[in-house]
A and B are shown apart, each in its own frame.
Chain A
Amino acid sequence: MLFSLIESSRSALASIIAHGLRSFLTTLGIVIGVASVIAVISVTQGMSSFIGDTFASLGSNSLTIQSYTPFEDQMKGIRARLTPEDMELIERRAEGIASITPVLFANRASQIKFGSQTAFSRIMGTTYAFQDVSQSYMSLGRFIAQSDNLTRRRVVIIGDKVRENLNMPDNPVNEYVDIGGEWFKIVGLMEAKGEIMGQSQDDIVLMPYNTMRSLQGNQARTDIQIQLSLSESAVLENVTAQLTTLLRNAHDLDSDEDDDFQIQTAEQLMETFDTVINMVTIVIGGIVSISLLVGGIGIMNIMLVSVTERTREIGICKAIGAKRHHILMQFLIEALLLSLLGGLIGLAIGYGLGTLISSSIPSFPPASIPLWSVALALGFSGFVGVLFGILPAAKAANLDPIDALRYE
C-alpha cells in the first residue's frame, strides 16, 4: 500500500509538472481561497492577541459594577441605579478589595473649550483611587487628590488625546479649560494608553467625584459606576459572589428577581471582544470557504478533462497490468497534490497579504497565523482534493481496457 502510494505520488508529480501552466491555473481557485482565509485569520487573530495584551495591561484583577436595566423595564420608565450608599456599603463590608472608587459620568454634552478650540470628550468624576484601579500613570502634574474631592476643587486631569484635540501646549498643566460654563484648572496629564478597537483610551477628562456631583446639582438619584481592584490574595469568584449578595440585599431583590446591576471584569470585557472577533473570523471564513469549494470544482473539471485526455494511457497501463486501485490512486493523488500545492501557495500568499494589510494600516496590530489555521487550510484543501478527485479517479479506474486502448 505504501509502495503504490509512493509510486502514485511519483507519477502524479510528474504529470503535474508536465502540465505546469494548466496545473497552476487549476489550483488558482484553491490558492485564492486559502490565501483569503489565511489573510483574514491572520489579521483578526493578530487583532485578538493585541487586544488580549492591551487588556492584560489594564489589570485583570479589576472589577466594574454598573447598574443594569433590562430593555423591557427601560420602556416602562424604570431605571436601576447604583448609589453612593451602595459603594459605601461595599467599602465597609466586602473583603478582598484593594482600592475602590466611584465613577460618575457627565450627563450633559461633554464639551470642553480651550481658547477658541472646542472638543468633546468623556468626562468622569472619580477619586484618587481610580489611579490604582485603572492602572493609569501621570506623565505630567499629579492625579486627583483626596483633598480635591473633599473640597470639590475645580481641577481636571486630561488624557493626551484631549490635549491634542484642544491644540494645547505640550505641557497643559496649570492651563484653564471651560467645561459646561465652569472654569477648571488642569493639574495633570495622563500617560498615553493607545487605542482598543479604534477607540482612543486617551480621550478622557477626570475631575473629582464630588465636583462632578455638585456640577450635576447634587441630584438624589445619581447612578454611579463603581470600579475596584482586588487585593493580591483575593479570589475573583469569591469577591464577585460577595458583591452580588451585598447588592441584592441592599436593593431588596427577591430571590426570583434578576440582578439590577452588572459586575464586569476586564477579562469578561476581553472575552466579549474575543467573541466578536471570533464571530467575524467564522463568518468571513465561511464566505471564503465557498471559494475553496469553487476551487475544488475547478480541480474536478480539469481532472475529468485529464482522464479523457489520458484514456489511451490508462488503457496501456491496464494492458500491462495496472489494477483498478493503481489507476484510482494515481488520479486521486494527483488531485490531492494539486490542491495541497494550491493550499501551500495560498498559505504563503495569505500570510504575505495579512502582513501587508496590517502593516499598511497605521496602529493596526501585526498579523499572526495560529498553527490551527495552517492545519485547517491544508486539511481543507486536501479534503477538497480528495472530494473532487474521487469522481474523475473512479471514472479512470473503471475504464474498460479494450475501449481505452482503442480511444483516439
Chain B
Amino acid sequence: MALIELNGVTKYYEMGDQVVKALDGIDIDVEKNDYLAFIGSSGSGKSTMLNILGCLDKPSSGQYHLNGKNVESLDANELSEIRNLEIGFIFQSFNLLPRATALGNVMQPLVYRGIGHRKRKEMAMESLERVGLGDRVDHLPNQLSGGQRQRVAIARALVTHPSILLADEPTGNLDSQTTIEIMQLFDELHAEGHTLIVVTHEDEIAQHCHRVVEMKDGRVFNDSTTSSAAVTS
C-alpha cells in the first residue's frame, strides 16, 4: 500500500456565487521514500494540494489515505494529531515562532506530543545537529540568516520523525547559494530514507526531485518519473 493515496480528490471554494474548482479530481499515489515535486503556475492548485496533503484542509469529495488512515473522517483535533505525528512542514517564510530560540522552535512539536522537557531537548539537539546548527541553538530567529532559519524549520520538521516532509516553496525566500545548500540537505534527507514532497514553481528545484507532477487548473497535467528515481519500497 502506498504511503499517500488520493482517489478522486476535489476541493471547491465558493467565491460569491461562483464555484472555484481548486482541485478537480486528483488521483495520485506517493510511495515511501518518494522525492516528489508539484509544479505549476500560480492558481494551478499547488497550494490547495499542499493543504490537503498536509491535513490542514479536508477535500470536498474524494478519498485521502495517509499511511492507511482515511483523513476524511477526522475532526480538527484528530487532524492536529495527524499533522504532529505524520507530517513535517517546511514553509517558504520559515514560520518560526519569533520569541522562541532555535532550540525552542524545534522542541515545540514535541510539546504537543507530551514528551518531557529533558527528552525534548535531547531530540531537538539531535535534529539541529543533523541540519548543521548545533552551535546556534540559543539564537532567536531574527538573529539567524535566511538559510539558517530554514534549517531550523527543517530540524523542526525532522524532530518528530514524520512519514512525509512537506515543503512549500522552501527556497523562495533564499538566495541562490543558500538554495543550493538547502536542496543538498533535501537530497541527503531523501538518501536517508525520508519521503519528501516539494511544492515549487522553480524548475531547478524540481530537477532535484525524482518525480515531477505538473498541475494545471486543478488537475494533474503531467506526472513524470526521472530515471534516477529508482528507489521504491
Measured CB to CB, the residues of A under 8 A from B are 3-4, 7, 14-15, 18, 312-313, 315-326, 401-402, 405
Contact = CB atoms under 8 A, between A and B. Distances in A.
A320 B99 contact: no
6 contacts: A3-B116, A15-B99, A321-B85, A321-B112, A322-B112, A324-B76
Interface in B204-219: none
In this complex, the interface size class of chain B, counting residues with CB under 8 Å from chain A, is 20 to 34
A408 to B, nearest CB: 10
Contact of B156 (A7, A320, A323, A326): A320
Nearest to A319: B89
Contact of A320 (B51, B57, B98, B108): B108
A15 B76 CA distance: 26
A323 to B, nearest CB: 5
A313 B97 contact: yes
A364 B98 CA distance: 54
B80 interface: yes
A322 B114 CA distance: 11
Interface in B124-168: 156, 160
B81 interface: yes
Nearest to A326: B112
Contact of B81 (A313, A317, A321, A401): A321
B211 to A, nearest CB: 24
Given A316-B97, A324-B77, A402 B57 contact: yes
Given A313-B98, A402-B57, A320 B83 contact: yes
B74 interface: no
A321 B156 CA distance: 12
Task: Say what secondary structure dominates the interface of chain A.
Answer: helix
B1 interface: no
Contacts, number: 60
B80 A323 contact: yes
B182 to A, nearest CB: 19
Interface string B74-114: 00110011011100010100011111100000001101111
A7 B96 CA distance: 18
Contacts of B156: 320
B229 interface: no
B45 interface: no
Contacts of A312: 95
- In the complex, which of the residues B80, B95, B96, B112 has the most CB atoms of chain A within 10 Å of its own CB atom? B80
A245 to B, nearest CB: 75
Closest 4 CB pairs of A and B: A321-B84, A321-B112, A320-B109, A323-B80
A317 B105 CA distance: 10
B98 A321 contact: no
B97 A401 contact: no
Contacts of B57: 402
Nearest to B116: A3
B54 interface: yes
Residue among A4, A313, A315, A323 with the most chain B CB within 10 A? A323
Nearest to A312: B95
A318 B80 contact: yes
B98 A323 contact: no
A122 to B, nearest CB: 71
Given A3-B114, A7-B111, A18 B80 contact: no
Given A18-B99, A316-B95, A402-B56, A321 B114 contact: no
Contacts of B99: 14-15, 18
A321 B113 contact: yes
Contact of B84 (A4, A15, A320): A320
A401 B91 CA distance: 14
Indicate the member of B81, B95, B96, B100 with the most A CB atoms within 10 Å: B95
A321 B80 contact: yes
A319 B100 CA distance: 16
A317 B104 CA distance: 12
A312 B98 CA distance: 10
A4 B112 CA distance: 8
Contacts of A321: 80-81, 83-85, 109, 112-113, 160
Contacts of B91: 405
B51 A402 contact: yes
A320 B56 contact: no
Contacts of A322: 80, 112
Given A312-B95, A315-B95, A324-B77, 17 more contacts: A3-B116, A14-B100, A313-B98, A318-B80, A319-B56, A319-B89, A320-B84, A320-B89, A320-B108, A321-B113, A321-B160, A322-B80, A323-B112, A326-B111, A401-B56, A402-B51, A402-B57
A3 B99 CA distance: 22
Contacts of A313: 97-98
Contacts of B160: 321
Contacts of B54: 319
Contact of A317 (B76, B85, B108, B116): B108
Contacts of A316: 95-97
A319 B116 CA distance: 21
A261 B113 CA distance: 77
A185 to B, nearest CB: 86
Contacts of B108: 317, 320
Contacts of A324: 76-77, 80
A320 B109 CA distance: 6
B77 A405 contact: no
A35 B113 CA distance: 41
A387 B113 CA distance: 28
A91 B165 CA distance: 101
